[in-house]
Amino acid sequence: MLQFPKNIPDQNFQKTLALIESLTTTCQYLPLSRREKEKIIHLETLKSSLFSARIEGNKLTLIQASRANLQNPQKKSKLELSNLLKAQRLLARHSQPLEKKDILQIHQTVMANLASTAGKFRRESSAIFDGLGNIVYLTPDPNEMQTMLAVLLKKFNLSLTWRKALINSALCHYYFEKIHPFVDGNGRVGRILLKYQLLNIDLLPDLPLPIEEYFDQHRSDYYFFLEKNTTNLEKFVEFFLQGIAWSLKKVLTDVKNLKQTSNQQTQTANLLPRRAEIFHIIQDHPYINLDSIARRFPTIPKRTIAYDVNQLVKKKLINKHGKTRGVCYSARE
> Do residues 185 and 73 share a domain?
yes
- Please indicate, yes or no, if residue 265 is contained in any of the structural domains: no
Least confident of 29-43, 243-257, 266-280, 282-296: 266-280
Task: Please check whether residue 23 is in contact with residue 189, taking contact to mean a CB–CB distance below 8 angstroms.
Answer: no
**54 shares its domain with 167:** yes
Task: Give the chain's domain count.
Answer: 2
Are 221 and 314 in a shared domain?
no
Percent of the chain with pLDDT over 70: 98
Q: Are residues 187 and 325 in the same domain?
A: no
What phi and psi, each to the nearest 5 degrees, are found at residue 202? Answer: -55, -40
Q: Which of 231, 260, 289 is the last residue of a domain?
A: 260
Least confident of 64-73, 75-84, 141-150, 170-179: 64-73
What pLDDT band is residue 266 in, cutting at 50, 70 and 90?
low
Is 80 exceeded by the pLDDT of residue 265? no
pLDDT tens per residue, range 188-215: 999 999 999 998 998 888 888 999 999 9
Residue 228 clears pLDDT 90, i.e. is over it:
no
Q: Are residues 181 and 37 in the same domain?
A: yes
Domain encompassing residue 316: 271-331
| Whether residue 264 has pLDDT greater than 80 | no
User: Taking the alpha carbons of 302, 308, 314, 316 in that order, is the dihedral positive or negative?
Assistant: negative
What's the whole-model pTM score?
A: 0.79
Residue 120's contacts (CB-CB under 8 Å, 6 or more residues apart) are 104, 107, 182
Does residue 197 lie within any of the structural domains?
yes
Residues 159 and 285 reside in one and the same domain? no
DSSP secondary structure, 189-238, as one string: HHHHHHHHHHHT-TTS-SS---HHHHHHHTHHHHHHHHH---S--HHHHH
Q: Which of 73, 83, 82 lies closest to 106, judged by CA?
A: 83
The CATH number of the domain holding residue 224 is 1.10.3290.10
